[in-house]
Each structure stands twice: as C-alpha cells, then as structure tokens.
C-alpha cells in the first residue's frame, strides 16, 4: 500500500519531514523536491509494509531517507537522474556476527604480532612491513563494519521536536527546540537506547528548567524559552548536549529535598557538583506536584542507568538563573576501542586512550609531597593529584618512588585532571571490549575486559570511576552501591 | 523443597561427583558445560575471597570461583592437578575450582533424599539433597542457591 502526495509552494523538504515524523518507524517515507521538468512528480511517497514485494521497494526508500545528503548527492552525480539510491536491508544479527568475527581478527592480529616480536627475526625482515599492512587492513575492516551500524541522529532529534512541542503545550510554556549536529553518526543500538533517556531529559528541561512565560519576562528574558539539543563527535566519543536557558538548578532546594528523603545526612558538606549529582539518586524528584510529565519519582536515575549501560556518562553544569546543561558522553563504538596497554604490579591492564591527555615520566623536581601518602605532580605550572592505580586496584600499596613509574595524565568531563601512576607502558593498540556484567557483575574502577595476544585477559580501567573514587561524592553514592553489587553477584 | 521436587520429576538422574574441601559433593550433569584443567586467572580487584579471577574461555570472560571457599572451607591452593568445572546457572557461565572430579553417577530419582535439616550454615543451605552410596553418601549442590545474586543493587 502506498500513497503519493504533491505539495506546492514549499522551498524545502524539512517541514514535510517534520509533519510525517510520527510514521518514521512504521513505514518508509520519501520526500523529494519537485523538479520543474519532471513529468510525473513524486513528492512524498509513503509505503506501508503489506507484501514482501512491496517491502523491497520500501527498504530502498528507507535507506534513502536515512542517509539523504551524502548518498543522494553521489547518486545524482552518478546517474544524473533522481532514481532512488540502492540500499540493502540486512538482518542485524548478521552484522553482529561480522562484528564478532572482526573482533576475533583483531585479537588474532595482536597474537601474531606478539609471536613475531618474540621470534628474534632481524628488524629488516619484510615480514614486519607485511605485518603493518595487516594491522592497517584489520583496522580498516573494523572501521568499515562499525560504519554499517552507524546512523545519523537526525531521526532521533526529529522525534524530540515533537516531544518538546507536546511538553510545551502541556505546561503552557513557549519553547523553541534548536537542534545541532544532526548528521553526527552513532551506533544503531545507541540511537535506539537513547530515545527514552532523551525524551525524559527534554521533558524535564521543559517542565523544570524553563520558566513560565510571565516569569521569564519578569526575569528580563525572552518569553520564548530556548532548548538546544546538540550532537558532536569528540575524539573517541559522541557528546550529546541538552541545554536550556531556564532557571538553573536550585541547589539549596535540591539539598533540602535530598535531606528530607534521607539521601544525604543533614550535616553533610556537599560541593556544588555533588549536589547536582543528587538529581541522579533513585527516587529523587523536585516537582512540587505530580504532573503528566514529571514528578512521579521515576526520574534521572533511570536516565543515568540507561546511559551507563551504554558505557556513557552524564554531566551537569548549571548556573542559577541562566540555565542548565546536561551533557551525555557516549563511546563511538561499543565493541572496539583504542587502549594503552600498561603493567600494574605484574598484571597487564588497559587504559582507554580517549581519556589520556599525555604520559609523563616524572622527575624528582616535578613531584611534591602533600601529607603522608599523597603526591602532587607539577606540570606547566599546574598541580595535579597523583593516584596510585595499583593501590586503587587493591594491590599491596608499596610506597614506591614515583620517579620509577609512568604517570598517565587523565582528563575526563566530570572530574578535574589527575595523574594515574602505573609501572610501565607496553603498547598502544585496538582492543576488543568484552563485558563482564553478564557473568560477574560490576566492579568499581573496571569497565570491562579484553583478551590479549597471548589469550590472557586484561581488565579495562575506567579512569573516570578511579578518579571519582577520590572525591567525597563516591562515598555517599556510587562506591557503596557498587561494593554491594559485585560481592552479591558471585 | 521445591527444587528437589523439580529434580525428581525425571526418573533417572545423572550427577558428576567431585571433591571440594575434602568432602564429596555432586552437581546435576545438565548444569555442567565442560570440565577443564586449571589455568592461571586474571585477578579481579576488590573481589571477595572465594572469587579467584577471570579466564578466557574461547573469547568469553568467565569468573572462577573457589568452590571450597564458597562453601566455607579453607581456600584451595590451585595447582595443575586441580580442575575447573564450567557451569551454566541462570544465563550466567561460571567456573568452579574443585580439588578433583571423580565419576558420573547415575541414580533413580527416588533414591535422592531430602537434606536433614539441622543448624544451617553456608554449606547446608546450598545442599539440595543427599544420595546414599553404600557406606558413604554424596551431597547435591544447588547452584542457583549457592551462586544466587544475593541482592541486586540498581546502579
């Protein structure tokens, strides 16, 4: 079943796509700008899946709607006509199998390079050049496979336009949603599992963040609230930002509620960031009354859980009276990442390269003691705390001289700079991430595991969690919870 | 005991008998995936005493648990002669380190007896039933009880 509609007088396809956004998942929608000399104009063609034959046509159309800009341009250049770009519909399971096989290929590649390094071949052997080629090819295949799963965030963002409109109507507020970086491509699974948390955060921003029009005028702001939804790629990760220009977080009130719900002790000293993080505590709600949109107590903790499950994190920054920004950082791919292979007390571990700013072999003059057990590193006039990773990983703390060790300068979104002390750096390579949650459970400071060239397992360090273990906040919330959960799992 | 009743539905039962902490135990054979020799593990940080670490089982990361320690006995000092039983319990794959594996035991289900209830401890709580064997007897381990995630904490 299919329909064709012709609409006159519109200069762009965007308004039509927005209107038909609600059928996005249900059928294939194809919007073409009308050529002046086209004999039979197809402006909008919608196909409902009812027979296998039709479905093929629909797939082609779906593919086309998906990657409009790029594919369309190429196609137009190739054929000089408006024929639909051909695309392929593949069972996701096949792609998953391919991804697994590529993962094994990468492991196998590291096995071979490790063997060869130990084989005492002359450095000039041609084999090494071939090995480098193999490495490059393996990486190319891996990137290619990942690209199959990547999709632009545009459909997701368009769905958010409707959510924002509905939320604004329900609360009687005037809100404009601006989207940026719609062409940013993210893994399909991530897009699917991001829809619910994003919906929730958009609703929250409109219900709690942006003030009613009268209040805004009184505060000297534009009547219309602005909500910005932006996606961009930053080194190994995707950052999605939801920023409103509303009232900002009312920290004294958040604290008050947290105390009344027994989430924090009354006399606890909390920093601003720690108060902000209370939003993610289970059962937390600031809404004075329960509305259709929010205030039912299922809230940001669900958002956080969903995003953590994807290997991402959420950070908040807020200025009272100016607005609040939530930024979600997600890994680019779920299966493979670039890692620094390190030695820690004889154990091989992996630190994600995306979080390492630089590696330093400290000189005596760069180090200064603070208290009994803590050392600071001076780097370009800044003082950065050093965390002994071995100690954090539960190995015996041997107060060794820091000058024997290598420091990894770590920078992440939610924690200030710190340096992780490790024993040695072996290598830098792609590793295949294996989850441990299924069989074992979560371990604080460890985000997963990988299999090395020799078949042994190396744990992947979560630098952010390790660094956060330093702050007071960890004691109130995550650390305790995690301790319980991993002991319980086995 | 409903777990025991569940087990006794089938007439003929097969168990793999093993020794852990110097005592005889057995595990129902359908829960066992494979039995392999001890290989060195990757130690996990902050793990409880009975968790030895993780191994690579054909590309999957499997935790290894010292069955003797988990049952409350002294820890096993693993050597090449020790054995790991890979078991599947409720979607999880876990390896159990034991002292040795003896034989496959086939019994009629009515010979399985309920565990006499005395004072309970970690071990007796995880015993599903007992099987008399001539002068001796062996105890059936309930893996789902022993390895139950005690309280799941929502992260």
Q: ipTM of this model?
A: 0.74
Q: Distance between CA atoms of A358 and B33, rounded to whole angstroms?
A: 45
Q: Is the pLDDT of residue A318 over 70?
A: yes
Contact B42 A455 (CB under 8 A): no
For residues A53-75, average pLDDT: 44
Neighbour-count burial for A420-449, b at 16+ CB within 10 Å, e otherwise: bbbbeeebebbbbbbebeebbbbbbbbbbb
Between A417 and B96, whose confidence is greater? Answer: B96
For residues A162-188, average pLDDT: 88
Q: What is the pLDDT of residue A241?
A: 92
Between A460 and A452, whose confidence is greater? Answer: A460
Q: Distance between CA atoms of A88 and A99, rounded to whole angstroms?
A: 18
Q: Distance between CA atoms of A375 and A345, rounded to whole angstroms?
A: 19
Q: Is the pLDDT of residue A78 over 60?
A: no
Q: What percent of chain A has pLDDT over 70?
A: 76
> Which residue numbers of A have CB closer than 8 Å to B's CBs?
103-104, 107, 282, 301, 305, 308, 347, 392-395, 434-436, 438-446, 449, 451, 455-459, 478, 481-490
Q: How confident is the model at residue B101 (pLDDT cuts 50, 70, 90)?
A: very high
In 3D, which of A282, A218, A224, A286 has the Cα closest to residue A252? Answer: A286
Contact B46 A449 (CB under 8 A): no
Contact A490 B152 (CB under 8 A): no
Q: What is the pLDDT of residue A107?
A: 78
A240's tokens:
């999605």
Q: What is the pLDDT of residue A288?
A: 55
Between A472 and A83, whose confidence is greater? Answer: A83
* CATH for the stretch B2-145: 2.40.50.180
pLDDT, tens only, B22-52? 889 999 999 999 999 898 888 888 788 888 9
In 3D, which of A222, A218, A193, A213 has the Cα closest to residue A307? Answer: A193
Q: What is the pLDDT of residue A200?
A: 87
Q: Distance between CA atoms of A408 and A23, rounded to whole angstroms?
A: 49
Contact B151 A488 (CB under 8 A): yes
Q: What is the pLDDT of residue B95?
A: 93
Question: For residue A185, what is the enclosing H or E element?
Answer: strand A185-187
Q: What is the pLDDT of residue A235?
A: 66
Which position has the token pair 């005889």?
A: B24
In 3D, which of A288, A287, A317, A282 has the Cα closest to residue A302? Answer: A282
Q: Is the pLDDT of residue A477 over 50?
A: no
pLDDT, tens only, A424-441? 888 888 787 877 766 777
Mean pLDDT is lowest, of A271-280, A341-350, A376-385, for: A271-280
Contact B59 A455 (CB under 8 A): no
Q: Which fold has domain A153-331?
A: Heat Shock Protein 90 (3.30.565)
Q: Is the pLDDT of residue A56 over 50?
A: no
For all residues of chain A together, what is the average pLDDT? 75
DSSP annotation of B42: B
Contact B154 A305 (CB under 8 A): yes
- Angle between helix axes A188-204 and A154-171 (nearest 10 degrees) is 20
Q: Which residue of B has its CA nearest to A458?
A: B42
B112's tokens:
């399985």
Q: How confident is the model at residue B16 (pLDDT cuts 50, 70, 90)?
A: very high
Q: What is the pLDDT of residue A445?
A: 81
- Report the length, in residues, of chain A: 490
Q: What is the pLDDT of residue A50?
A: 46
Mean pLDDT is lowest, of A374-378, A485-489, B68-72, B111-115, for: A485-489
B65 contacts in chain A (CB < 8 Å): 490
Q: Distance between CA atoms of A378 and B33, rounded to whole angstroms?
A: 54
Domain A336-489 -> CATH class: mainly beta
Extents of the domains making up chain A? 2-79, 92-150, 153-331, 336-489
DSSP annotation of A116: H
Which of A107, A282, A488 shows the shortest C-beta gap to B152? A488
For residues A128-148, average pLDDT: 85
């Amino acid at each position: 079943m299919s329909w064709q509609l012709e609409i006159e007088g519109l200069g762009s396809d965007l308004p039509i796509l927005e209107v038909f956004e609600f059928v996005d998942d249900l059928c294939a929608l194809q919007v073409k700008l009308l050529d002046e000399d086209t004999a039979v104009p197809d402006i909008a063609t919608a196909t409902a899946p009812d027979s296998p034959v039709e479905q093929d046509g629909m797939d082609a159309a779906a593919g086309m709607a998906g990657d409009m800009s790029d594919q369309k341009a190429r196609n137009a250049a190739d054929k000089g006509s408006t024929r639909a770009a051909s695309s392929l519909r593949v069972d996701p399971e096949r792609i998953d199998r391919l991804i697994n096989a590529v993962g094994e290929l990468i492991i196998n590649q590291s096995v071979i390079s490790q063997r060869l390094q130990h084989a005492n071949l002359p450095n000039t052997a041609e084999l090494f050049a071939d090995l480098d080629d193999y490495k490059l090819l393996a990486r190319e295949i891996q990137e290619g496979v990942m690209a199959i799963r990547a999709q632009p965030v545009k459909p997701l963002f368009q769905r958010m336009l409707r959510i924002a409109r509905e939320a604004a109507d329900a609360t009687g507020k005037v809100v404009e949603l601006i989207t940026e970086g719609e062409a940013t491509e993210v893994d399909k699974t991530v897009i699917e599992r991001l829809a619910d948390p994003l919906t929730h955060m958009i609703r929250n921003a409109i219900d709690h963040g942006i003030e009613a029009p009268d209040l805004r005028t009184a505060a000297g702001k534009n009547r219309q609230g602005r909500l910005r939804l932006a996606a961009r790629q930053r080194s190994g990760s995707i950052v999605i930002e939801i920023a409103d220009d509303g009232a900002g977080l009312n920290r004294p009130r958040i604290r008050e509620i947290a105390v009344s719900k027994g989430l924090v002790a009354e006399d606890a000293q909390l920093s601003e960031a720690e108060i902000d993080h209370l939003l993610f505590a289970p059962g937390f709600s600031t809404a004075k009354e329960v509305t259709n949109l929010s205030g039912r107590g299922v809230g940001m903790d669900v958002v956080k859980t969903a995003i953590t499950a994807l290997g991402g994190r959420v950070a908040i920054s807020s200025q009272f009276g100016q607005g609040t920004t939530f930024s979600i950082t997600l890994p680019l791919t779920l299966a493979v990442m670039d890692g620094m292979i390190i030695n820690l007390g004889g154990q091989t571990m992996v630190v994600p390269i995306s979080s390492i700013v630089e590696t330093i072999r400290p000189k005596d003059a760069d180090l200064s003691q603070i208290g009994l057990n803590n050392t600071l590193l001076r780097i370009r006039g800044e003082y950065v705390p050093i965390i002994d990773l071995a100690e954090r990983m539960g190995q015996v703390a041997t107060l060794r001289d820091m000058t024997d060790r290598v420091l990894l300068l770590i920078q992440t979104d939610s924690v200030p700079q710190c340096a992780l002390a490790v024993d040695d750096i072996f290598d830098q390579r792609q590793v295949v991430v294996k989850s441990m949650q299924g069989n074992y459970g979560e371990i604080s400071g460890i985000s997963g595991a990988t299999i090395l060239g020799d078949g042994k397992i190396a744990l992947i360090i979560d630098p952010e969690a390790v660094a956060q273990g330093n702050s007071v906040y960890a004691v109130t919330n995550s650390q305790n919870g995690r301790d319980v959960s991993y002991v319980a799992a086995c | 005991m409903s777990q025991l009743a569940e087990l006794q539905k089938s007439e003929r039962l097969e168990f793999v008998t093993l020794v852990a902490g110097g005592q005889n135990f057995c595990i129902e054979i359908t829960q066992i995936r494979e039995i392999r020799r001890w290989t060195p593990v990757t130690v996990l940080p902050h793990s409880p005493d009975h968790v030895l670490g993780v191994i690579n089982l054909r590309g999957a990361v499997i935790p290894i648990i010292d069955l003797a320690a988990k049952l409350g006995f002294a820890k096993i000092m693993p050597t090449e002669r020790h054995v790991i039983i890979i078991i599947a319990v409720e979607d999880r794959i876990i390896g159990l380190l034991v002292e040795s594996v003896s034989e496959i035991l086939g019994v009629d289900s009515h010979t399985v007896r309920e565990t006499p209830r005395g004072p309970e401890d970690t071990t007796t709580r995880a015993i599903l039933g007992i099987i008399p064997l001539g002068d001796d007897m062996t105890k059936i381990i309930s893996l789902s009880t022993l390895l139950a995630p005690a309280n799941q904490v929502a992260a």
